[in-house]
Structure 1
Amino acid sequence: MTHDTPAVEVRRSRRRKRTVSAYRDGDRTIVAIPARFSRAQEREWVQRMLDRLAAKEQRRRPSDDELLERARRLSERYLDGRAQPSSVRWSDRQGKRWGSCTLIDGSIRISTRVQGMPGWVLDYVVLHELAHLLHANHGPTFWNLLSTYPRLERARGFLDGVSFERGTGDHGDPGDDEQDEDLLDELSPRSGAVSDGAA
């Protein structure tokens, strides 16, 4: 397998006895190996770890067809198959949104910013948009649909954290603009109550 990796940095460690690890750091790939490895072992393990990283990244960046299949499985599992999108595709035109859908034709778009995030976060974003195919707003019925997803709050928190770090002002709800934030706080399962906005 070939890789278009700009730079690979091999770090040898005397404390590392048998394990090898690899991770991306910006445009570099860091591969940590035991100091005792020969140059041949180093080449073998660097290639092996690059292959593993590439495979892992590919799983986190499914194709549009794979996104559609994923959405269909999620609909079956969590929405009793009631939400049937016509298409699900990556989009780099989502602005501050994690995803969006068009009710008229049943199409869903997922922000390319979600690529590389854990699969359970991607699943939440897709499920959020699938639920919008059934309920356009964020009322109690909408959140009840999503309540069966076991990582709902964790995924929303993850997206909140990413938004905070990037300073984008996004929040943990895929297709919502900033102006909807107060309404979301009122209706989300986190608050447990509906507010009329009066203080």
Structure 2
Amino acid sequence: MPAESARRRKVAPSSSAQPAAPRTAPGEVEVRRSARRRRTVSAYREDGRTVVLLPARMSEAEERRWVGLMLEKLARQEKRRRPTDEVLAERAGRLSAQFLGGRARPDSVRWVTNQNARWGSCTPAEGSIRLSHRLQGMPEYVVDYVLLHELAHLLVPGHGARFWELLEAYPRTERARGYLEGVAATARLPHAVDDEQDDGARAGEEGAAPANDPA
């Protein structure tokens, strides 16, 4: 018998497992049993799936219970690490004070999950800024650049010379743009933060950048 075996399958909720568990890890759950494991159970995310490591002698019922528990544990850990809208708004305030003289004062700054082709967007009439959740986990200087890009739109519409003069105050603008262009090229996405290539794309909205550069 091999020291470790793996079975790959979808996990369905059971009456004893919390129903939220499958929703926390959409896709596949791979269960790996190891004869070297006596009591410990662990889990991690890998390539879009969840891997759960169990002792070889664990029963099927125990396996189902532990898979549900580990999915919930991972979800809680990820939620704690996820930046909140409140933290994002505070960050925007600090950046505005440091690089824009505190003149950009958004009424709303939040993460959104429906911007897959743009890194950020800004609606000056509403004073609202939205950042794509895909930025979470990227280097801080990149997130700061996208935030500043959108903050600048509260002061200057479009992407003319005056707009870019504002962003010159941020020393990592070019580096951040290069990073986003690299990510976008790998994913074959557009190359702008919001709509740098089409300033009239959305009436009243400035920051809806294509997925390479904020707007």
Q: TM-score, normalised by structure 2?
A: 0.55
CA shift for structure 1 position 129: 0.6
Residue correspondence of structure 1 range 106-145 to structure 2 within 5 A: 106-112=127-133, 114=134, 116-118=136-138, 120=140, 121-136=142-157, 137-139=159-161, 140-145=164-169
SS at match of 2:106: coil
Indicate conservation of the 8 Å contact 1:89/1:110, yes or no: yes
CA shift for structure 1 position 85: 0.6
Tell me the residue number matched to 1:22: 44
CA shift for structure 1 position 144: 1.4
Describe the shift of the 1:177–1:135 C-alpha distance in structure 2 as closer, same or farther (beyond 3 A): closer
In the aligned structure 2, how far is the partner of 1:138 from the partner of 1:58? 39
Where do 5+ consecutive residues of structure 2 fail to align? 1-17, 37-41, 200-215
Higher helix share: 1
Indicate conservation of the 8 Å contact 1:101/1:132, yes or no: yes
Q: Give the aligned residue type for 1:22.
A: Y
- The C-alpha deviation readout for 1:137-161, integer Å capped at 9, x for no partner, is 35341231322x5xx4443233223
Q: Give the aligned residue type for 2:154.
A: L
In the aligned structure 2, how far is the partner of 1:104 from the partner of 1:90? 19
Residue correspondence of structure 1 range 79-94 to structure 2 within 5 A: 79-91=100-112, 94=115
Counterpart pick for 1:8 among 7, 15, 29: 29
Indicate conservation of the 8 Å contact 1:60/1:116, yes or no: yes
CA shift for structure 1 position 91: 4.4
SS at match of 2:78: helix
Where do 5+ consecutive residues of structure 1 fail to align? 181-199
Deviates most, 83-92 or 43-52: 43-52
In the aligned structure 1, how far is the partner of 2:80 from the partner of 2:176? 20
In the aligned structure 2, how far is the partner of 1:104 from the partner of 1:96? 22
- The C-alpha deviation readout for 1:103-136, integer Å capped at 9, x for no partner, is 3342212234x35442623332212111222333
CA shift for structure 1 position 80: 4.1
In the alignment, structure 1 residue 100 sits paired with structure 2 residue 124: no
Tell me the residue number matched to 1:174: 193
Q: Which has the larger radius of gyration?
A: 2
In the aligned structure 2, how far is the partner of 1:132 from the partner of 1:142? 10
Tell me the residue number matched to 1:56: 78
SS at match of 2:102: coil
**RMSD, matched Cα:** 4.2
Aligned residues: 171
Tell me the residue number matched to 1:192: none
Q: TM-score, normalised by structure 1?
A: 0.58
Percent of aligned positions that are identical: 41
